[in-house]
């Protein structure tokens, strides 16, 4: 199916050309006609599926361009705001809408001025939106469409009271679109009364990670993780990678260690100023750095094409975060590699990830790396068939890929 069959306005179709898209992604194919029909939509789709265009294109097909806010998109992070604004402005070259993003961490003056200049599509983080609204800078009378982007994340980040406050400020008569990477009971309960008989669209995340991303586990002693990372990237040519750490302090430490070993890396986290973060991202995009170290919250909004590797320096506590993190690679039809460094202490989290994503991850070693305190290979251990790790026998062995195949037995 082509974009022409989705019911978009002609101007928005020109916007599709500006974006350089040929074929709609599944979420676009399913969500756009529903949004165009005027229904409320509840869409389950993770970052990387093309969800931004799935709401920006129909919204800009529907609202007027009169300099009055016709649609509001609420999203959890500044980076997402900027990404949505970028897509919106590109499409608006053809549709002639004024698109503005407002978010915290920067001064008010420019945002207030732009608001008073006239805006058709406003993209906002909840806190800054409410600040500006309480200062009388935002006129909501003409809002016809509300988009809640990454609703699950807004919930996790504690933004839900703010979101409810925003809902109360909006005209009752409006179309609601809710996008979320997960739609568990927690999300559904909270939004149940917000949407009016919504059409539901599910783009199961499984198709992206499992098929397009090669997911590998590198067992390693916790003390040797940095060393292993350096070794990994020394033997990898031509990469653009994001490394996730659990904390900001760890991100800085890992970056420092990589840099002092001759592997150029930059960090991005919330302690950095907005300007500095954007500068770092631009450098990463332009290829000045090939390695970016990040924490989860920051990484949500990173929209950089051509990421070849995602490395989980620490195993994420929540399987959901694992799916989000690795979804940074293999976007828009490309393939990618996700590497998870796993210490003995992190096996329970890994097991949970494998349970939820219904797969057994392939285990590899870095050739020639001097593993200290090399952990006993699992088949030398006493076998406890009731242990969840017992499932690695057999399952893993058959799944090694590539000519070297790596070593597919798990060692701990």
Q: Which stretch binds ligand AMP (CB under 6 A): 16-24, 280-288, 375-383, 389-397?
A: 16-24
Rounded to an integer, what distance in angstroms lies between the CA atom of residue 124 and that of residue 103? 6
3-state secondary structure at position 411: strand
Rounded to an integer, what distance in angstroms lies between the CA atom of residue 159 and that of residue 83? 20
Q: In sequence order, what are the residues at sequence separation of 6 or more whose Cβ sits closer than 8 angstroms to the Cβ of residue 173?
A: 144
Tokens 């265009």 appear where? 53
Give bridge partners of residue 68 from the DSSP assignment: none
Which residues inside 108-167 make contact with ligand AMP, applying CB under 6 A? Answer: none
Kindly state the smallest distance separating residue 223's Cβ from ligand AMP, in Å: 36
Q: Which stretch binds ligand AMP (CB under 6 A): 45-53, 128-136, 233-241, 269-277?
A: 45-53
Residues in the interface with ligand AMP (CB under 6 A) total 16
> Quick one: which of 31, 36, 42, 50 contacts ligand AMP (CB under 6 A)?
50
Task: Tell whether residue 47 is a contact of ligand AMP (CB under 6 A).
Answer: yes
Task: Tell whether residue 239 is a contact of ligand AMP (CB under 6 A).
Answer: no
Kindly state the smallest distance separating residue 383's Cβ from ligand AMP, in Å: 43
Kindly state the smallest distance separating residue 71's Cβ from ligand AMP, in Å: 17
Q: Could you write out the DSSP letters of every residue in 326-366?
A: HTTSS-TT--EEEEEEE-GGGHHHHHHHHHHHT--PEE---
Rounded to an integer, what distance in angstroms lies between the CA atom of residue 377 and that of residue 178? 47
HEC profile for 39-88?
A: CCEEEECCCCCCHHHHHHHHHHHHCCCCCCCCEEEECCCHHHHHHHHHHH
Task: Tell whether residue 21 is a contact of ligand AMP (CB under 6 A).
Answer: yes
Task: Tell whether residue 56 is a contact of ligand AMP (CB under 6 A).
Answer: no
| Residue 135 token pair | 């200062």
Task: Tell whether residue 52 is a contact of ligand AMP (CB under 6 A).
Answer: yes
Kindly state the smallest distance separating residue 331's Cβ from ligand AMP, in Å: 5
Kindly state the smallest distance separating residue 271's Cβ from ligand AMP, in Å: 25
CB closer to ligand AMP out of 303 and 354: 303
Q: Is 376 exposed, middle or buried (0-12, 13-18, 19+ CB in 10 A)?
A: exposed
Kindly state the smallest distance separating residue 353's Cβ from ligand AMP, in Å: 22
CB closer to ligand AMP out of 300 and 411: 300
Task: Tell whether residue 30 is a contact of ligand AMP (CB under 6 A).
Answer: no
3-state secondary structure at position 267: strand
Kindly state the smallest distance separating residue 339's Cβ from ligand AMP, in Å: 21
DSSP state of 385: T
Torsion on CA atoms 19, 22, 23, 28, rounded to nearest 10: 10
| Residue 59 token pair | 């919204």
Which residues inside 311-370 make contact with ligand AMP, applying CB under 6 A? Answer: 331-332
> Quick one: which of 185, 193, 305, 345 contacts ligand AMP (CB under 6 A)?
305
Kindly report the backbone phi and psi dihedral angles of residue 235, in degrees, each rounded to the nearest multiple of 5, phi listed first. Answer: -95, 5
Kindly state the smallest distance separating residue 32's Cβ from ligand AMP, in Å: 10
CB closer to ligand AMP out of 122 and 181: 181
Task: Tell whether residue 182 is a contact of ligand AMP (CB under 6 A).
Answer: no
CB closer to ligand AMP out of 47 and 357: 47
Kindly state the smallest distance separating residue 22's Cβ from ligand AMP, in Å: 6
**Sheet order of strands, 309-312 included:** 265-268, 291-294, 241-244, 309-312, 336-342, 213-219, 362-363
- Interface residues with ligand AMP (CB under 6 A)? 21, 23-25, 28, 47-53, 303, 305, 331-332
């Amino acid at each position: 199916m082509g974009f022409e069959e989705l019911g978009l306005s002609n101007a928005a179709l020109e916007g599709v050309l500006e974006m350089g898209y040929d074929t709609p992604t599944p979420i676009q194919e399913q969500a756009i006609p529903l949004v165009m029909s005027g229904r409320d939509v509840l869409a389950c789709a993770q970052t990387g599926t093309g969800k931004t265009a799935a709401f920006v294109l129909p919204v800009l097909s529907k609202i007027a361009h009169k300099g009055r806010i016709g649609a509001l998109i609420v999203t959890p992070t500044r980076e997402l705001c900027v990404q949505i604004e970028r897509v919106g402005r590109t499409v608006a070259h053809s549709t002639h809408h004024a698109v503005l993003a407002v978010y915290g961490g920067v001064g008010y003056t420019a945002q207030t001025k732009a608001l008073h200049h006239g805006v058709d599509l406003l993209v906002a983080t909840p806190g800054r939106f409410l600040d500006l609204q309480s200062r009388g800078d935002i006129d909501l009378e003409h809002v016809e469409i509300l988009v809640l982007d990454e609703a699950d994340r807004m919930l996790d980040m504690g933004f839900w009271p703010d979101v409810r406050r925003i809902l109360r400020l909006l005209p009752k008569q409006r179309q609601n679109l809710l996008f979320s990477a997960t739609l568990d009971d927690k999300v559904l309960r909270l939004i149940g009364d917000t949407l009016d008989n919504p059409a539901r669209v599910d783009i199961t995340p499984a198709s992206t990670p499992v098929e397009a991303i090669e997911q590998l586990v590198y067992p390693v002693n916790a003390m040797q993780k940095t060393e292993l990372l350096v070794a990994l990237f020394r033997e990898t040519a031509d990469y653009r990678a994001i490394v996730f750490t659990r904390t900001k302090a760890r991100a800085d430490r890992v970056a420092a260690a990589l840099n002092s070993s001759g592997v150029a890396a930059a960090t991005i986290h919330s302690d950095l100023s907005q300007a500095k973060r954007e500068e770092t991202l631009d450098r990463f995009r332009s290829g000045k750095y090939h390695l970016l170290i990040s924490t989860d919250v920051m990484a949500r909004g990173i929209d950089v094409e051509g990421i070849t590797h995602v490395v989980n320096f620490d195993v994420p506590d929540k399987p959901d975060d694992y799916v989000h993190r690795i979804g940074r690679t293999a976007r828009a039809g490309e393939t990618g590699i996700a590497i998870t460094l796993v210490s003995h202490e992190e096996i329970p989290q890994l097991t949970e990830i494998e349970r939820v994503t219904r797969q057994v991850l392939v285990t590899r070693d870095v050739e020639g790396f001097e593993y200290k305190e090399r952990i006993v290979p699992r088949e030398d251990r006493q076998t406890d068939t009731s242990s969840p790790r017992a499932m690695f026998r057999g399952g893993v062995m058959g799944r090694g890929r590539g000519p070297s195949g790596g070593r597919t037995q798990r060692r701990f």
